[in-house]
Amino acid sequence: MADVHLNIAGRSYDVHCADGQEEQLRQLAAMVDEKARSMTGSTEVRQLLFAALMLADEASEARGKVEKAGPESDSLRAAVALAESRAAAAQDELKAAQLREKRALHDAKVAAQREESALAELEKLRQGAPVAPPAPAGRHDRALMQIADRIEALASTVEQMA
Residue ranges in contact with another protein by CB under 8 A: 132, 135-148, 150-155, 157-159, 161-162
Q: CA–CA distance from 111 to each of 103, 114, 116 (Å)? A: 12, 5, 9
Q: How far is the CB of 141 from another protein (least distance, A)?
A: 3
Q: How far is the CB of 160 from another protein (least distance, A)?
A: 9
- Residue 148, Cβ density class (10 Å: 0-12 exposed, 13-18 middle, ≥19 buried): exposed
Q: How far is the CB of 131 from another protein (least distance, A)?
A: 12
Complex with another protein: residue 97 or 151, whichever CB lies closer = 151
- Residue 41, φ and ψ in degrees, nearest 5: 70, 30
Complex with another protein: residue 37 or 139, whichever CB lies closer = 139
CA distance 86 to 93: 10
Complex with another protein: residue 69 or 148, whichever CB lies closer = 148
